[in-house]
Structure 1
Amino acid sequence: MKQIINPQRLYSLDALRGFDMFWIMGAEEIFHKMAEITEAPFWHVLAVQFIHPDWHGFAAYDIIFPLFLFLAGVATPYSLGKQIEKGETTNSLLFRVIKRGLILVLLGVVYNNGLKIMPIEEIRFGSVLGRIGLGYMFANIIFLYTKQRGQIIWFFSILIGYWLLLTLGSAPGFPMGDMTMEGNIVSYLDRILMPGRLYLGIHDPEGLVSTIPAVATALLGIYTGNLLKNTTEADKTKTALRLVIIGASLIVVAQIWNLFFPINKNLWTSSFALQCGGISMILMATFYYIIDILGYVKWAFFFKIIGMNSILIYMAGDFIKWSYTASAMFGWLGQLVGEPYNAVVMVFAFLAVQWGFLYIMYKQKLFLRV
């Protein structure tokens, strides 16, 4: 069924954000459990795509994190842009952007370490939320103080500058351009600059220096948001096609760059940023075309519920034992199904409990805003 949607709100943005968070909530376990149970090549291939490569390389699961940051950028012209149109001053918006970014950094520290006092050297400061916060913050500052041309210049300057940093630098005792975990310049700088502990001892996948190219990911989202926001009703389909073409072009460039500058999520290499940016643009165009252009909305409600409270469901996993609730409410169903597929049933129960919680929050109009 088609539905007329509010042109002032990008329904597809909430839906795609929810689709992204759906996998973070634990949906990837469906493929892992099916691969374990059936040992079928089909399920094994899917399961492998939901495991991060150890270092170089790319899997479908790698898109989850940068897609979320990209979508934060897409929202910028709608959120900050709306405030600018209302006449709010740049300084007041700057304060709001910095405040939100730092709150996300703080929430990331809480997510990693819990609410307990510990020595600084035992605290892990690098986090997913921290990178989102800093990437969002700096990209939004660029948005506030530059026009689109300036934003594009910043985008390419960041990616090229980061490439030069990695190819011309290295840790002491390693050859120039070393890209190993021990020898690359980015991990080395994190070991010097970052307080506390790094996730892998000598490297943190959410380190400080590798957050620099993440700013470019958010800027690409801002570029996409500008295109969508400024599109007339008659040109919506053209805009969706334009996003697909740009996205595909970025993926091609990323694959060429990958030949001498590897795609690497741990380092958020420039080739990785382009690869994920291209995929993100195509996903955004697809959701936008189906939902906001064709008007097929009802199917996306499931994801919208998740997308409108994405930070809440991410943080809740650190404080609520969803598996306990799922077992208490649906354990009987797992017993009815029996071995070995009860494990798959309980993954669906785990997801259902979380979604039910978010639905109640949605109905009560309770949203965690940062």
Structure 2
Amino acid sequence: MNRRLLSLDALRGFDMFWIISGEGIFHSLANVVMDKHGLVRNAQDWQTASNGHLSYYEQLLILISNQLHHTPWNGFTFYDMIFPLFIFISGVSMPFSYHKYFNQTEPANKINAKKKLYIALAKRTLILIILGMVVNGLLKFQGYENTRFASVLGRIGLATFIAAIIYLNSSFRMQILWFILILTGYCAMMLLIPVPGYGSGNLTPEGNLSAYFDRLYLPGKLHKTIYDPEGLLSTIPAIASAMLGIFTGQFLKQQSGAFNPKQKTGILIASGIALLLLGSAWDLFLPINKNMWTSSFVLFSGGWSVLLLAMFYFIIDVKGYHNWCLPFVWIGTNSILIYMAAHGLIDFGSTAEILFGGIIGKAPAAYQQALLWCGVLVLQLKLLQVLYNRKLFLKI
């Protein structure tokens, strides 16, 4: 199975949808419900005070909106999964992308192919680091101390680069050993290495080893002042998130063996549940925490990632239901482009207001913000559809 998995593009698009416009739509709709019933959102844990008069639809909107916020520190929400899911998907794609290298039989050809892959990987990583800094405001030229060097795209580039190097140079057994070493080694560092003034095993925002490491060695501005959620040390376990994807991709790519596509779906589901249980067990010793990207977070978010892939894979690639997911495919095949565009390159909000403002103005005031976000989504999807139909993709 060397063909591209449509479910992988669709899942990538589903993942990206929430951070380009989906969250804006659902937050706006939830705000309508909360204003209607006089509910107050707790700023600390994003829970709502229910007055017992909400319909099922209204409760669902508030539930979705609540899940579209990061947990303040320990814990897990759907929004915490978006980033590791993207890294996981990048890992799944590697066995399909690099199959030509492994099909080389001549040693000289294999060496040349590996050199080309290394160069391509290095270029991709460097480009993603630079693009991440651009998203953070690099081109505003605010000076070294006010420039944030760590970024979402930078972590994607670094984590997938190292995971790819391990994949290209290790047997499957060694990949598993690397995976275990990364998670256990990071856990040991976080729990055993003392931080001056805080001691060892301090997992508070200011006292954990990852934050201390960022304060010492991460140049420029830290996103959260005392730590950076995309910092240096916490990028190490993100490599394991990519490797979980690589394991999954190798399993799905297998053409021979005892497992048909439906059986593969079942194994994926069982594996996802097992990862959730392992992550929950590890949470007893090292909390599930996105900001520190703890080992338990890798397993727990990985479990949900595998389960989501199993669902998309079964519906799209096994059962063959394709049409419904085309908008997600448009997003997923140009995910970096739309991420960059939605985070500063294009003002979709102002454009939507210009194009749809007259129509939106005729709607009840409470719904106008949600309709504006729907207009943003329409513009984004139309742009991506045109690019998809013309086979124009930003390939990094």
Shorter-chain TM-score range? over 0.9
Letter of the structure 1 residue corresponding to residue 251 of structure 2: L
Q: What is the aligned partner in structure 2 of residue 345 from structure 1?
A: 371
Map Cα deviations across residues 108-145 of structure 1 (whole Å, 9 max, x no partner): 11111242434222210110000000011000000110
Taking structure 2 as the reference length, the TM-score comes to: 0.89
Q: How much does 1:254 deviate?
A: 0.8
Q: TM-score w.r.t. structure 1 length?
A: 0.95
1:24 paired residue among 4, 19, 23: 19
C-alpha separation between the residues in 1 aligned to 2:304 and 2:82?
A: 11
Decide which of 283, 289, 308 is 2:314's aligned counterpart.
289
Aligned counterparts of 1:150 and 1:50: Cα–Cα separation in 2: 37
Aligned positions of 1:308-347 closer than 5 A: 308-317=333-342, 318-347=344-373
Q: Flag structure 2 segments of 5+ consecutive residues without an equivalent.
A: 35-53
Partner of 2:134: 110
Quote the Cα distance in structure 2 between the aligned partners of 1:369 and 1:299.
25
How many pairs are equivalent? 365
Sequence identity, in percent?
45
Q: Is the 8 A contact 1:52 1:62 kept in 2?
A: yes
| Contact 2:194–2:201 (8 Å) recurs in 1 | yes
List aligned pairs for 1:220-231, cutoff 5 A.
Answer: 220-231=244-255
Output the CA distance in 2 between the equivalents of 1:303 and 1:232.
30
Q: Which runs of 5+ in 1 are unaligned?
A: 1-5
Distance in 2 between residues matched to 1:7 and 1:183, nearest whole Å: 47
Instruction: Output aligned runs, 1:33-48, within 5 Å.
Output: 33-39=28-34, 40=54, 41-48=59-66
> Does 1:357 pair with 2:383?
yes
| 1:160-199 correspondence runs (5 A) | 160-199=184-223
Q: Measure how far apart 1:295 and its partner are.
A: 0.7
CA deviations on 1:257-309 (whole Å, 9 max, x unpaired) are 11221110000000111011111111111111111111111111111000000
Q: Distance in 2 between matches of 1:82 and 1:288?
A: 23
Instruction: Give, as a single letter, the amino acid of the residue that structure 1 aligns with 2:10.
Output: A
Instruction: Provide runs of 4+ in structure 1 moved above 3 Å.
Output: 231-234
What is aligned with 1:66? Answer: 84
2:165 aligned residue (138, 141, 166): 141
- Write the distance in 2 (CA, Å) between the matches of 1:107 and 1:118: 17
Structure-to-structure mapping, 1:76-115, within 5 angstroms = 76-86=94-104, 87-88=109-110, 89-115=113-139
Moved more, 323-332 or 264-273: 323-332
Residue pair 1:171, 1:182 contacting (<8 A) in 2 also = no
- State the secondary structure of the residue aligned to 1:9: coil
Paired with 2:245 and 2:60, the residues of 1 have a C-alpha distance of: 33
What are the superposed Cα offsets for residues 303-322 of structure 1, whole Å, 9 maximum, x if unpaired? Answer: 10000000000111211100
Aligned to 2:361, the other structure's residue is in SS state helix
Q: CA RMSD for the aligned pairs?
A: 1.6
Instruction: Identify the residue that residue 6 of structure 2 maps to in structure 1.
Output: 11
Tell me if structure 2 keeps the 8 A contact 1:231–1:239. no
1:232, distance to aligned residue in structure 2 (A): 4.5
Instruction: Find the residue that maps to 1:336 and give its secondary structure.
Output: coil
- Report the secondary structure of 2:365's partner residue: coil
Q: Distance in 1 between matches of 2:256 and 2:238?
A: 30
Q: Secondary structure at the match of 1:171?
A: coil
Change over 3 Å in CA distance of 1:338–1:252 after alignment to 2: same
Q: Is the 8 A contact 2:2 2:96 kept in 1?
A: no
| 1:66/1:266 CA distance change after superposition, 3 Å | same
